[in-house]
Amino acid sequence: MAVIRDVMPAFDLLQPESAGDAQKLLQQHGSDAWVMAGGMDSLDWLKDRIKKPGVLVDLSGVEELKGVRATGDGVEIGAMTTLTEIANHPGIRKNYGLLAQAVELVASPQIRNQATLGGNVSQDVRCWYYRGGWPCYRAGGNICFADTPVGRNREHAIFGANRCVAVHPSDSVPALIALDAKFVVQTSGGERVVDAEDYFVGPEDDITRINMLRPGDLLTAIRIPAAWAGARFYFEKVRDRNVWDFPLMNVASAARLNGGTIAEIRIAVNAVSPRPMRLQAVEAAVRGRAADADTGEMAGKLAVEGAVPLQYNAYKIPLMRNLVKRAVAGAGQPQGSSTLASNALAQEATCRS
Amino acid sequence: MADTPQESAMKAEQEKPRPYGTGYRLIGHDYKTPDLIAKVTGRSKYAEDFRAEGMLFCRLVLSQMPHGRIRRIDASRALAMPGVKAVLTADDIPAQADFLNDNGQTIKANQWGERALTNEPMFFGAPILAVAAVDELTCAEAIEKIDIEMEPLPFVIDPLESLRPGGKNPHADGNVWTRGKSGEELTELKWTDADFAEYEQGRLPMGKPMGEWSYGDVEGGFRDAALVLDESFVTPDVSHQCLEPRTAMAYWQNGKLYLHTGTQSTYQTVPAIARWLNLRTDQVVLISEYTGGGFGSKVTGTVIMIIPAILSRKLNAPVMMRISREEEHYIGRARPSVLGRAKIGFAKDGRITAIDYYTVTNSGGYENNDNGASSAGIVSLLYQPPAMRWRGVSVMTNTPTRSAQSAPGGLQGITIIEPILAQAARKLGVDQVALRRVNSPEGKAEYGPPSHGQRTHVTSCFLKQALDLGAEQFQWKERLARPRRVGSKARGVGVALSCYVGGTIGFDGLIVITPEGRVRFHSGIGNLGTESVIDVHRAGAEVLGVPWEICDVVWGDTSKGMPYTCASGGSQTTHAMTRAAYAVATECKQKLKEVAAKSLGGSPEDYEVGNARVYRKGGGAGLSFAQAGQKAIALGGIYDGHEAPDDVHKATRAAVAAVAGQGLVVAARDKAPRDGNTFSYVASFAEVEVDLDTGKYYITDFLAYGDVGTVLHPHSLGGQMLGRSTLGIAHAIGQKWVYDPEYGAPVARRFYQNKPPTILDVPVNMQWAALNIPDPETPVGARGVGEPPVGGGCASILNALSDALGDDNFERAPVYADTILASYEAGRPLQHPLMASI
Amino acid sequence: MPETDNLRTEEGPSTEITRRRFILGVIAGGAVVGAASYRILAPGGRGRSFGGERLITLNVNGKPRRVEVMKQETLAWTLRYKLGLTGTKLGCDRAECGACTVLVDDVPHYSCSLLTNTVRGRKVTTIEGLAADDGTLHPVQQAVVEAQGFQCAFCMSGFVMATVGYLKAHPSPTRTELAHGISGNLCRCQDYMKILDAMMLGAEKMRRA
C-alpha cells in the first residue's frame, strides 16, 4: 500500500449533546470509535491516515462538559473546558495559579483557544517514530526505534522505560498532580474518581495505552480540592521554541510552608518518563526542611537517582535535577497566587530588564 | 595613482553615510506598493487559490526508502476506482535534454540530476508517482490501493560515513562530485583510516580533497602568527520551509501551457519549464503574481511543477497539484550542511595571518551543491587573509535535494570562521569589534584565488563604517561593562561580520508610455514580497522625473510581455534591475525627445523631459506623456514597438512585439560599466542571556548594520535586514534536520520538530540601519541585500553564546538548551562529533 | 482565464462522484443523518460511509451560507474550496503555522484544525469579512498597508485575524504582550519586527476608531 498523508479519511461523525449520549455512543461503537475533544491530537492522527476510526465522536457540542464550577471542596473543571478559559478564569488564577501558569505555556494561543483540559491530559505521546507511523511497540509492533544505538532520542525518557521510551508530553498534568487533582471517568461499570497520577498507564502495564480509558470510557471532569488553594506554587517549562513546542521537561510544585520550613509539598515532573512522574521520595525528604537553596540541591540530587539516560538525552538528568531544585527552593519564594501572564512573558521581561 | 586633494575630498564626501532618500524624490522614500491592498484583503491569489472549470486534482506518492529501485507498480485497483483519471510514473516524464543557455552555450543534461518522478529514488520522500482524480479524497483512497514493489539499494545519510574506507556509496556511480569534461560528474572517493584518526575527538578528517585553491604563503603566515587555532564546526541542514508549499496548477489552451505556481523569478522560470517539458519558451505562459516565500528554493520554480502540466495534457483538463507541508519538507529544498575545519593564524593585534580551510558538504541526493566551495570565497573576502588555502569535497548522500538558500556558502563559511575569531579575541585580549575591524575588507578589496595571476576585487566596501556605527548604536562598550553573571543567568554579547554577493549586470528594461499618459514598467521579477519587483522601477520613475502616481507596474504574467530579467537569487535583483530600469528610463527620455522633435520640429537635443511632459528647453511647445504616447503610435517602427533595438535580448524583443502599438514602447539594455564584482556587507550585533540551570537562552537584543549601497525603499530594506538576519539566527537557535541513520529516514517532519523560529524566539525590538553610501560602480548606487545579513545573524548569536559560556561548549549549530546544559556540566563540549542531523 | 467565481457548493467535475457519495452517505446514515438537530440517538450497527456530504448552514462574514460538507471536512477546506474564500491560507494544515487563522465567535482559531460540522451556528469571520462593504479597510488592515508589514504575505491573513481577535480582548497591549498574543502565527520571511510595527499601529487605530 502506497503511503499518502494530509487527506483525512472518511468517518462517521457523531455529535452528541449530552455526556450520557456520548458515553452511550462510545460504548456502542467500542474500539471502532474515536473520542475527539478539541481535536488537536485527534486530527493529527487522522490527517496522517495512521488511525482510521469508523466513527468519530465529537464532544464539542456537549455543553455540560464545559466550564469551571466551584464545588464544596475546590473546583471542578469540565473536561471540555478550553485551556484559554482555564488560564483566564479568575478563581483558578486566584487559588490554583499553578494550573493557569501551566496551561498558558501550552502550544500557541489558537491551540489554547481550541484545546481542552481533557484533551491535554489524555493526549498521546509525541515520540517522532511512533507519530511517524513506524511499527513500534506502542503501535503494536515488537521494536523500539528510538532506543537503538543510533536512535534519535534527545526528547525521550530517563525514567520508567519499558520497551517504549516515549515521554508523556502534557504541560497541565504535573500541575494537576501537584494540586492533587482527581479525574472523573465514566465507565461501563459506573463513575470512577481517580488520583491524577493514577489516570496514566505506563508501558509496563499496557504499552498501547497512555491512560486508563478503555473503549467506551469517557473522562468528564477534573476536580481540584481546596486543600492546595493559594499554596506556594512553582511551575517551569523548558522547551526549544517559545511557542508550539512540547516540553523538553516541565516541573510543578505546590507547597505549604510553616514559617520557613516545608510543611507539605507535592512535586511532579513530565517529559521524563512514559508516565507523568510524581516525586514522592523527594516530597518526603524535603518535608520539615527549610525551603531554601540547600534543600533544593538535596531534592534535585535525590530526584534523579536511578535515572537511565539514552544515547542523546543525558542532559535531562541535570535538567531534572535543576528544575526540581528550583521547584523546592522556589517554594520558599513569595509569589503572587495568580500569574500576570505566562511564564515566558515573565522570563522575557526578566531578560529585558 | 594618488588622488589629488580635491579628488580625495570629493571621495570622502561620497563615502559618507547619509539619511535615506537624500537627493532623491522617490528613491529612499517609503511608499505603498501596489500589491498591498490585494494581500491584506485576501484577494491576492497564490497558485493554490485558483480553480478552473473541470479541474482535476493530483497528489504525489513519495518514496518510503532512502534509496531503491522500483520493480513493479500495480495501480490497477486504483485505476478501477470511480473518479480516478490517471497514474503518472517516471516513464511518463520527458527525458532530460541538453539545452542552450542565454549565452548560447550548450549545457549538458545532468544524468544524476533530479527529475520530477523517478524509478530510482535517491532519498526518503523523493516523488515516484502521481495520481490524478476528481478530488483529493479520491486521490488518497486510490493511492492506498497502489502496490509498489521496490528493491532496496545501499544508502548513506552521513557524508563522512560515505568517505570512510569501505563506506557505502549513495549511488552506483560513486559518492563525491568532481569537475569532469562535460560538467559535474559523480565519482568514488574513500579516505584512509589514518584520515579518521581524530574523528572521535571531533576533529574533521581531511583526506584527499576533490577541489582546492590557495594564494599567498600559508605556512609562512602560521609561522609568523602569535596564535594559531584549529577548530572544526558543523553547520546544519536546514529546509527552506516556505510558508506556501510549491503547489502548481496547469492547463493547456491552443497548444500553450498555462502554469500557475510560485517562483522567485517570473521571466527566468519560463525557460526552465520549457526545458523540463521539451517545449519552446513561446509555448509556456507562467502566472505567478504572488509567491509565498522562496529563500533560494524557488529560483526558477521546481521540477515537480511539470507533473500537473503533463497530467493536464494527458487528461485534457486543468490539474491542480497541492503540495502538503510534509511533502514540502521532502521536496522543498534545503541548505546543505557543511562540516568545516579551519586553522587560522593571528598576529597579536588579532590580524589574520593565514587561513587553511577544509570543507565537507552534504550535497544531497541529486545535483551538486558545494556550499563549502562557495563558502571559501566569502571567507577570503570577509576576513581578508593575506594567505589562504581551501580544500574540500562535496558528497552525495541519500537525503533530499539541496539548493541555494539565502547566502549559500556564505552562512556556512561565516558560521564556521566567526567562532574562531571570537575565541582568538578572548585569547589575545583584543576587543571583539577591534578584531573584526583589523580584518574587515575595505574599498576595492580583493578576494578568492588568483585567476591568470590576478585576484578579483569588489566594487566597493564600507563595512568598517558599518561596524563602527553599529558598535556605537548597539552600545557595545557599555554592554561589555555590565555584569556578566547574575544568579544562574549568564549574559554574553557577540559581533560578526557578514557579506554576500549583491548584484549582476546586463539585463533589459521595458517601458510603455500609454496614450492615456500612464508610464508602465514591465517587470519580469518575481513577487516574493521583497518588493524588488516594484522597487527597482522607482529608479526609472526618478530618472523620468514623473510622479509615482502615474506609474504602473505589470508583473506576474509572462503573457503580458517581460523583458530579459535576472533570476531573483544571489541578491542580484535590486542591483541588476535598478540598472536596467535606469537604462530604459534614460533611453525613454531620449525617445520622448525624438518623438517631440519629430512632432514639433527641432532636434531631440532641444527638448527636455520633466513633470510628465517633454518640452522645448527654456519653455515653449511640448507634449504631455499622453500625447507622446499617441504620437509614438502614429510614428510606429522603433517608437511603438513594431521594431525593437538590436542590442536587447531576444526575450525582450519578443516582449516588445507583444506590446507593440500600445504607446511609446522603449526597451534598453543595461550597459553601464562596472569595475569589480558587487557584494553587500553587514555588521551584526547580538546579546543573549543563558540560564545555566536549564541551558535555555533568550536573545535579548540584536542589531544589523548594513553597507548595502543606496537605500531604495527603507521599509522593504528593513524587512530584508531583519528577516534575513533571523533566517541566519534560526541556524544558531534551532532549525535543523533529524535523521535516523539506520533507516535513512527523517524523524523530524513537522514544524515542531524542525523548529523554524517563532515571534517569541527573537527580541521584540530588533534593530537595523544602513549606511546609505552609494556604490560607485552602478547608477543610483543600489546593491542587493537579501543574503548579506544571513551569516552575521547566525554567527553573532553563536559568538554571544561563547562570550557567555566560554569556548568549550558547542561545536555545532544549532545550539540547543541540551547542548549548553550537558556541556556546561561536563566542562567540555558534549556533542556527538561531526554529525549534523542528530 | 481559468479563474472562476468559486461561490458554489458543488464542484463541477466532481458532481458525479460527490453526488453518488452524498447519496451513499445519506443511505448509510439513514435516520441518523436525518435527525434534525444532529442529535445522535444511538442507532447502532451502522455501515461506514465514504465521505458523504450534507447540506449545512454556516454563518460566514455575517451571511448565512448553505454548503455541502463532508464529515471529515475542516473549516479551512470549506472556506477555501466550497465558499471560495481563499484569503484563508493553508501553510501546514496541522495547527503549526497560523496561516489559516479565522475568528470563531470573535476568538482566533486554526481553521485547519476545526471540523466544519463543529462550527454550525457560530459566527465565522475571515480576512474577506474584515473590510466594510464599501471597501473601507479595517484599522488593522489599514495599518498593514501604511507600515508595509509583511513580505510574501502568505501568513498575512492569519496574522491579521489573530491580531484582530487578540485586540478585541486586549485593546491596549504593550509590544511584548502583542507578540505573545499573536505568537501562534509563523512568518517564514521572518518579518516579525515589521509585523509588530504594523500591528501596534493597528491597535492604536482600533482604539481611535
Question: Is position A255 within any domain?
Answer: yes
Chains in contact with C, where contact means 3 or more Cβ–Cβ distances below 8 Å, are A, B
Q: What's residue B96's pLDDT? A: 81
- Number of C-alpha atoms within 13 angstroms, CB side, residue C156? 36
My answer on whether omega of the bond before B5 falls inside 30° of 0, hence cis, is: no
The answer for residues whose C-beta is within 8 angstroms of residue A317's C-beta and 6 or more apart is: A158, A304, A307, A309
| Contact present, B320 and B351 (Cβ < 8 Å) | no
Whether C135 and C81 map to the same domain: the answer is yes
Residue ending a domain, among A27, A46, A61, is A61
A77 forms bridges with which residues in the sheet?
Answer: A68, A222
Q: For B657-672, what is the mean pLDDT?
A: 98
Q: How far is CA A215 from the centre of its chain?
A: 21
Whether A234 and A302 map to the same domain: the answer is yes
The answer for residues whose C-beta is within 8 angstroms of residue B196's C-beta and 6 or more apart is: B160, B164, B205
Searching chain B, which residue's CA lies closest to the CA of residue A311? B832
d(CA C118, CA A263): 47
Whether A95 and A36 map to the same domain: the answer is no
Q: What is the CB neighbour count within 10 angstroms for residue C66?
A: 9
Q: CB-based contact (8 Å) between A46 and chain C?
A: yes
d(CA A331, CA C172): 33
The answer for residues whose C-beta is within 8 angstroms of residue A11's C-beta and 6 or more apart is: A34, A46, A52, A53, A54, A55, A56, C48, C71, C72
Q: How far is CA B199 from the centre of its chain?
A: 33
| Contact present, B705 and B725 (Cβ < 8 Å) | no
Chains in contact with A, where contact means 3 or more Cβ–Cβ distances below 8 Å, are B, C
Question: Is position A314 within any domain?
Answer: yes
B702 forms bridges with which residues in the sheet?
Answer: B686
pLDDT higher than threshold 60 for residue B181: yes
How far off is chain C from A51, nearest CA to CA, in Å? 13
How far off is chain B from C17, nearest CA to CA, in Å? 7
Cα dihedral B619, B624, B627, B632, rounded to 10, equals 80
Q: Which of B179-188, B311-320, B541-550, C62-71 has the lowest mean pLDDT?
A: B179-188
Question: Is position A161 within any domain?
Answer: no
pLDDT higher than threshold 50 for residue B117: yes
Residue A198 carries which DSSP code?
A: G
Ramachandran region of residue B641, left (φ > 0), alpha (ψ -120 to 50) or beta?
left
Q: For A323-344, what is the mean pLDDT?
A: 63
* Interval B54-91: pLDDT, tens: 999 999 999 999 999 999 999 999 999 999 999 999 99
B62 forms bridges with which residues in the sheet?
Answer: B127
8 Å CB contact of B292 and C6: no
Helices B714-733, C192-208: crossing angle, 10 deg rounding: 120
CATH of the domain at A254: 3.30.465.10
Q: How far is CA A28 from the centre of its chain?
A: 28
| Contact present, C192 and C185 (Cβ < 8 Å) | no
CB pairs under 8 A between A and B: 132
Q: What's residue B1's pLDDT? A: 52
Q: Which of residues 236-265 of B touch C (CB under 8 A)?
A: 241-245, 251, 258
**Nearest CA among B338, B320, B335, B402 for reference residue B85:** B320
* DSSP calls for B370-434: -HHHHHHHHHHHHS--SSEEEEEEEE--SSPPB---SSTTHHHHHHHHHHHHHHHHHHHT--HHH
Whether A80 and A207 map to the same domain: the answer is yes
Question: Is position C163 within any domain?
Answer: yes
**Nearest CA among B670, B265, B676 for reference residue B505:** B670
B60 forms bridges with which residues in the sheet?
Answer: B130
Whether A50 and A95 map to the same domain: the answer is no
For the four alpha carbons of C48, C49, C51 and C53, in that order, the dihedral sign comes to: negative
Question: Is position C51 within any domain?
Answer: no
The residue segments making up the domain with residue C134 are: 74-208
Question: Is position C10 within any domain?
Answer: yes
Question: Is position C124 within any domain?
Answer: yes
Whether C25 and C100 map to the same domain: the answer is no
d(CA A51, CA A37): 16
Q: CB-based contact (8 Å) between B48 and chain C?
A: yes
Q: What is the CB neighbour count within 10 angstroms for residue B406?
A: 28
The domain total for chain C is 2
CATH of the domain at C107: 1.10.150.120
Q: What's residue A12's pLDDT? A: 95
Whether A110 and A257 map to the same domain: the answer is yes
The confidence band for A332, taking pLDDT boundaries of 50, 70 and 90, is low
Helix (H) or strand (E) holding A191: strand A190-195
| Contact present, B771 and B17 (Cβ < 8 Å) | yes
Whether C29 and C80 map to the same domain: the answer is no
Task: Output the average pLDDT for chain A.
Answer: 93
Q: CB-based contact (8 Å) between B451 and chain A?
A: no
Cell of C125: 469571520
| Contact present, B707 and B773 (Cβ < 8 Å) | yes
Question: Is position C186 within any domain?
Answer: yes
C-alpha distance from residue B585 to each of A197, B382, B513, B667 (Å): 74, 35, 11, 9
% of chain B residues with pLDDT over 90: 93
Q: What's residue C175's pLDDT? A: 98
Q: How far is CA C22 from the centre of its chain?
A: 24
Pairing of strands B678-691, B489-503: antiparallel
Q: For B154-177, what is the mean pLDDT?
A: 98
Q: CB-based contact (8 Å) between B719 and chain C?
A: yes
8 Å CB contact of A56 and C71: yes
d(CA A244, CA B754): 12
d(CA B672, CA A47): 55
d(CA C82, CA C60): 12
Cell of B781: 548606487
Between B107 and B66, the higher pLDDT residue: B66
d(CA A153, CA B838): 9
Whether C125 and C187 map to the same domain: the answer is yes
The confidence band for B183, taking pLDDT boundaries of 50, 70 and 90, is confident
Q: CB-based contact (8 Å) between C168 and chain A?
A: no
d(CA A219, CA A193): 10
Q: What's residue B86's pLDDT? A: 98
Whether A215 and A192 map to the same domain: the answer is yes
pLDDT higher than threshold 70 for residue B2: no
| Contact present, B597 and B587 (Cβ < 8 Å) | no
Residue B730 carries which DSSP code?
A: H
| Contact present, C60 and C83 (Cβ < 8 Å) | yes
3-state helix, strand, coil in chain C (%, to 5): 40, 15, 45
The domain total for chain A is 2
How far off is chain C from A25, nearest CA to CA, in Å? 6
Q: Which of B271-280, B358-367, B467-476, C1-10 has the lowest mean pLDDT?
A: C1-10
Q: Which of residues 117-146 of C touch A (CB under 8 A)?
A: 117-118
Question: Is position C158 within any domain?
Answer: yes
Question: Is position A147 within any domain?
Answer: no
CB pairs under 8 A between A and C: 120
Q: For A135-144, what is the mean pLDDT?
A: 96
Q: For A225-238, what is the mean pLDDT?
A: 97
Between A345 and C70, the higher pLDDT residue: C70
User: What's the Rg (C-alpha) of chain C?
Assistant: 19
CATH of the domain at A29: 3.30.43.10
Task: Output the average pLDDT for chain B.
Answer: 96
Whether C23 and C79 map to the same domain: the answer is no
Please name the residue that has the C-alpha cell 462550527: C119
Q: What's residue B107's pLDDT? A: 78
Locate all alpha helices (DSSP H) within chain C, ordered by sequence: 15-29, 31-34, 75-77, 139-147, 156-169, 175-181, 192-208
Residue ending a domain, among A36, A61, A86, is A61
Whether A29 and A97 map to the same domain: the answer is no
Whether A57 and A191 map to the same domain: the answer is no
Residue B776 carries which DSSP code?
A: T
Question: Is position A33 within any domain?
Answer: yes
Helix (H) or strand (E) holding B221: helix B218-223
d(CA A231, CA A239): 26
Burial of A194 (0-12, 13-18, 19+ CB in 10 A): middle
Whether A68 and A57 map to the same domain: the answer is no
Amino acid at C192: Y
Q: Which of residues 698-727 of B touch A (CB under 8 A)?
A: 698, 700
d(CA C150, CA C135): 21
Whether A57 and A68 map to the same domain: the answer is no
Q: CB-based contact (8 Å) between A342 and chain B?
A: no
Q: Which of residues 2-21 of A touch C (CB under 8 A)?
A: 6, 8-17, 21
The answer for residues whose C-beta is within 8 angstroms of residue B607's C-beta and 6 or more apart is: B592, B593, B596, B597, B614, B615, B616, B617, B622
d(CA B81, CA B452): 65
* Interval B809-825: pLDDT, tens: 999 999 999 999 999 99
Question: Is position A336 within any domain?
Answer: yes
The answer for residues whose C-beta is within 8 angstroms of residue B247's C-beta and 6 or more apart is: B46, B47, B48, B261, B262, B320, B321, B322, B323
8 Å CB contact of A154 and B145: no
Supply the ipTM of this predicted assembly. Answer: 0.96
Question: Is position A118 within any domain?
Answer: yes
Whether C126 and C31 map to the same domain: the answer is no
Whether C17 and C107 map to the same domain: the answer is no
The residue segments making up the domain with residue A34 are: 12-61
Q: CB-based contact (8 Å) between B150 and chain A?
A: no
Question: Is position A187 within any domain?
Answer: yes
Please name the residue that has the C-alpha cell 516515549: A166
The confidence band for C6, taking pLDDT boundaries of 50, 70 and 90, is very low
* DSSP calls for A79-92: TT-BHHHHHH-HHH
Ramachandran region of residue B472, left (φ > 0), alpha (ψ -120 to 50) or beta?
alpha
Question: Is position C115 within any domain?
Answer: yes
d(CA B335, CA B735): 11
Please name the residue that has the C-alpha cell 460527490: C18
Q: What's residue A339's pLDDT? A: 34
| Contact present, B253 and B551 (Cβ < 8 Å) | no
Phi, psi torsion values for B219, nearest 5 degrees = -65, -40
Whether A27 and A108 map to the same domain: the answer is no
Whether A18 and A72 map to the same domain: the answer is no
Whether C22 and C78 map to the same domain: the answer is no
Q: CB-based contact (8 Å) between B326 and chain A?
A: yes
Q: Which of B301-310, B455-464, B611-620, C179-188 has the lowest mean pLDDT?
A: B611-620
Residue C170 carries which DSSP code?
A: -
Residue C179 carries which DSSP code?
A: H
Question: Is position C17 within any domain?
Answer: yes
